[in-house]
């Protein structure tokens, strides 16, 4: 497969992953301010988003990582400082996704848990990290 196809699929997978993360951030943010007793339509929405996360967002994250590493190996960029910073930021996004998915899993169960303190900043942090990654990839500053 040509480099440009790998790059295009990497971008599509990344946009899908980040879009799913933002959906999680918004849903969890809204639900954390709501009463613990969930209405049937809220529970249905939570289960639908959880299914979306398992079937679309998480596979998109895995595909993003695989295609990104393939590109890095093909181009010899692994030793470049900008890519090492990008990989660290992408790892932080993956960890954040895991925390968000775990919080959704908790909230869909019968266990009542206190709101995650960082939840109000999750969407902004996701966008800022994604923007920083885009700047690093386009400019390759070092």
Distance CA 62, CA 130 (A): 16
Task: Name, of 10-14, 77-81, 106-110, the range with top average pLDDT.
Answer: 10-14
Q: What are the pLDDT digits (tens) for 118-129?
A: 788 899 999 999
Rounded to two decimals, the pTM is 0.89
Per DSSP, 132 falls in state H
Q: Of 111, 115, 110, 85, which is closest to residue 100 (Cα–Cα)?
A: 115
Q: How many domains does the chain have?
A: 1
Structural domain for 45, as ranges:
3-139
Higher pLDDT, 34 or 12: 12
Per DSSP, 77 falls in state G
Tell me the three-class secondary structure of 33-46, residue by residue. Answer: CCCCCCCHHHHHHH
Q: Are 60 and 77 in contact (CB under 8 A)?
A: no
Distance CA 62, CA 70 (A): 12
């Amino acid at each position: 497969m040509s480099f440009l196809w790998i790059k295009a699929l990497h971008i599509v997978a990344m946009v899908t992953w980040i879009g799913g993360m933002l959906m999680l951030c918004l849903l969890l943010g809204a639900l954390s301010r709501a009463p613990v007793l969930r209405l049937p339509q809220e529970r249905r929405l939570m289960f639908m988003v959880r299914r979306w996360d398992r079937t679309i967002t998480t596979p998109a994250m895995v595909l993003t990582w695989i295609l990104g590493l393939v590109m890095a190996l093909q181009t010899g960029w692994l030793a470049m400082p900008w890519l090492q910073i990008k990989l660290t930021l992408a790892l932080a996004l993956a960890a954040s996704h895991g925390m968000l998915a775990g919080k959704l899993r908790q909230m869909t169960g019968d266990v009542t848990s206190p709101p995650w303190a960082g939840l109000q900043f999750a969407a902004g942090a996701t966008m800022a990290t994604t923007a920083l990654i885009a700047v690093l990839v386009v400019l390759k500053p070092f």
